[in-house]
Structure 1
Amino acid sequence: MAINRIGVLTSGGDCAGLNAVIRAVTRRAILKYGWQVYGVNDGSHGLFDRPPRFQELTLPDFTGTVLRMGGTILGSVNSGDPFDFPMPDGTRQDRSAEIIDGYAQLGLDALIAIGGDGSLAILRELAQQGDWNLVGIPKTIDNDVDMTENAVGYVTAVDVATEALDRLQPTAASHNRVMILEVMGRDHGHIAINAGIAGGADVILIPEIPFDLDRIKSKFEDVLSEEGRSFALVIVAEGVRPIGETIDKNIGQYLGQHIAEMTGAETRVTVLGHTQRGRTPSPRDRLFASAFGIHAVDLVAEGKFDRMVAWSSRDCIDVPLADVVGHSRAVDPDGSIVRTARGLGICLGD
């Protein structure tokens, strides 16, 4: 089929590197293929409105500053499933037909969607229902999209968390404190374990490995007796929960309270929160974003749809979207990253 106009949108939580993807898609589509590029505003929600909300993307839109910007110039949403959309009166409705009609009104020949596992699953269902030509690009700071070693935004998030540990270490040492850093990772602990190793943490807690408070206490005793230190660093993913216990506070606060009670140490808790999302993208994230954007446009040109671009063995590849959605990429408790942490004497709570 002839391609004349493609769309691109960002869906789900923002992260560093999204603008680099949009830039790469636009430059490749225009410079190589001569296509029009429409950027859909606020993810799929831009297709609800009449007329649909979009902006035509052109080469002058991408001066040197956009590549370096965090966030997304198109806007994004991370709520409101169009198949089960919450209405003002409290009811829920299937509004997928409105989005499909909005896509048709834009006259798009294909759509490149930048999203995480949840967003890509919804967009794939919309594409199947509306007969769209869809190509996906993985983005998530959690790095839990399946079938790819890296997703856009992850490397920068690890950099932010590592830098936080670098800044917490001197004040921990100065005041003999246990500093607890809570990072994002609702279901998976890729940020926590990678930043923890890079940042010299003594304890790393991730959702994939259940933890025991007594093991953490023993680690602090070892730090004092074997290393002669009276301070320590802990990094914990936000989704970690104690076994068999319901807590009414975030995990960082829970650990701060219990570690202080068990050890008598002075504890401080830092929650990084959304600071992991909004930073200037790292050079590596810009590289992944650019490679993904180019490859996605080339897939459209080749008529290869219902696929997601991915990074594997130092190369940009593509995989079936059907193999991605409904799955997630967890930290392997027996993998090399966990073995590295254990080899360094880091306590993982078990």
Structure 2
Amino acid sequence: MRIGILTSGGDAPGLNAVIRAAVLKGQTLNGQEFVGFKNGWKGVIEEDLIPLGRHEVRGISKQGGTILGTSRTNPFEGNGGPDRIREVMARNEIESIIVIGGEGTLAAAKRLSDEGLPLVGVPKTIDNDISATDYTFGFDTAVQIATDSMDRLRTTGDSHGRCMIAEVMGRHVGWIALHSGMAAGAHAILIPEQKTSMDQIIEWVTSAHDRGRAPLIVVSEGFELDTMDDPHHERGLDAFGRPRLGGIGEKLAPVIEERTGIETRATTLGHIQRGGTPTSYDRVLATRLGMAVLDLALDKQWGQMVALHGTDIVTVGFEEALGNLKTVPQARYDEARILFG
């Protein structure tokens, strides 16, 4: 059996560990051949592929990003579609494809699987917002990077008596903000699931300052004040017509400074949260998912993907990952809120 592998959508620390695990297990136990499609679905449509053997995956589990490259190409646009993908697979004697990606990638994979293509999947997103799995690889690394950054912001904030705002990723959900904010001891955590008034934010900042602390606020890029109808964006639209979010921290900073008299600075962490070396947790999780998804391909469980439930790797259908974002529950936010101010 010759198996193709692709990574699609935003990159995440741990992608290479998934690739390595599938290839090593397949070659060691069954003598499978593997090829990698370059730049996601674009590589499938353009028939741009490379061999994947032990040499190609040697030592890559500790590397961030993806050795295959990625893109946000829609496999149904342009010269794509199920017939084109069947043609490419047949010409290269590929019997199945392992698809590693987020909700958009998995939605495309489900549609193609419904058309009869032999696809299996691995969920991927640093936002941890896929409902079918308890955790996704890349999330732990993003949280650790954000936490480390906030620890550094605290030292300079303490030195100058400033209020520091750290803006983290999170378009629709606030998992990164919640976890990193709790870890860093933030005095307020602002997430998309919880619209908050400026008065409340000022109260938290003032409370911390009155106790002799330099206030630290962590805010998700998709957070909205209770006076806003949409998340703050000033960078136009992306390739899918969605607003490019970012800048809410810079919007909050001058208001906080004006109303409290506390010098306030905002830092946007941005794509630094996606980069660099995966944490040990993400390497292990990604490796387990990579080995498990190979079994799905060998057993011809098309339209299925692997997921983490508790500490177990389980099998679920593509449809379970779609249309229902895993948001921060009210109880989890209330738990963290006790520590604000």
TM-score (norm. length: structure 1): 0.89
Native 8 Å contact 2:205 2:215 kept in 1: yes
Query: 2:51 corresponds to which residue?
Result: 56
Query: What does 1:91-240 align with in structure 2 at a 5 Å threshold?
Result: 95-96=80-81, 97-129=83-115, 131-225=116-210, 227-229=211-213, 231-240=214-223
Q: What is the Cα deviation at residue 75 of structure 1?
A: 0.5
The residue that corresponds to 1:24 in the other structure is: 21
* Cα contact 2:307–2:315 (8 A) shared by 1: yes
1:276 to 1:248, Cα distance in 2 relative to 1, 3 A: closer
Contact 1:113 1:137 in 2 (8 A): yes
SS of the aligned residue for 1:9 comes to: strand
Q: Residues 281, 44 of structure 1: CA spacing in aligned structure 2 closer, same or farther, 3 A cutoff?
A: same
The sequence identity of aligned pairs, in percent, is: 39
Instruction: Give the C-alpha shift of residue 37 in structure 1.
Output: 0.7
- Distance in 1, matches of 2:227 and 2:253, equals 19
Distance 1:316 1:182 in 2: 32
The 8 Å contact of residues 143 and 154 in structure 1, kept in 2 or not, is answered as yes
State the alpha-carbon separation in 1 of the partners of residues 7 and 282 from structure 2: 16
Q: Report the Cα offset of residue 340 of structure 1.
A: 3.0
How far apart are 1:128 and its partner, in Å?
2.1
Distance in 2 separating the partners of 1:237 and 1:257: 18
Cα distance in 1 between the residues matched to 2:52 and 2:99: 15
Question: 2:66 is aligned with what amino acid?
Answer: T
Contact kept, 8 Å, 1:20 with 1:286, in 2: the verdict is: yes
- Using the TM superposition, give the Cα deviation of residue 248 of structure 1 relative to its aligned residue in structure 2, in angstroms: 5.5
* 1:84-130 residue CA offsets vs partner (Å, 9 max, x unmatched): x4xxxxxxx5732434433333322111111001111012212322x
| Aligned equivalent of 2:259 | 262
Q: Is residue 41–residue 74 contact of structure 2 (8 Å, CA) maintained in 1?
A: no
Q: Which segments of 5 or more consecutive residues in structure 2 lack a partner in the other structure?
A: 235-246
The answer to whether the Cα contact below 8 Å between 2:45 and 2:79 also exists between their aligned partners in 1 is no
Sort the Cα spacing of 1:101 and 1:127 in 2 relative to 1 into closer, same or farther, 3 A: farther
Q: Which residue does the alignment assign to 2:311?
A: 314
- Summarize deviations over 1:162-198 as a string: whole Å, max 9, x none: 0011111110000010111111111111100000000
Task: Name the TM-score, length of structure 2 as normaliser.
Answer: 0.91
Distance 1:244 1:55 in 2: 51
Paired amino acid for 1:82: P
Partner Cα separation in structure 2 for residue 248 and residue 31 of structure 1:
49
Give how far 1:262 is off. 1.4
Corresponding residue for residue 89 of structure 1: none
Tell me if structure 2 keeps the 8 A contact 1:44–1:99.
no
Residue 329 (structure 1) aligned to one of 303, 326, 339: 326
Aligned AA (1:169): R
Q: Could you give the per-residue CA deviations for residues 226-260 of structure 1, whole angstroms, max 9, x where no partner exists?
A: x232x110111111122343655520111112111
For the aligned residues, what is the CA RMSD? Answer: 1.6
C-alpha offsets along residues 203-239 of structure 1, whole Å, 9 cap, x if unaligned? 10000011111001111222133x232x110111111
Alpha-carbon contact 1:121-1:326 (below 8 Å) kept: no
Matched residue type, 2:44: L
Give 1:71's match in structure 2, choosing from 52, 61, 65.
65
* Residue aligned with 2:97, SS: strand
Code of the aligned partner of 1:53: D
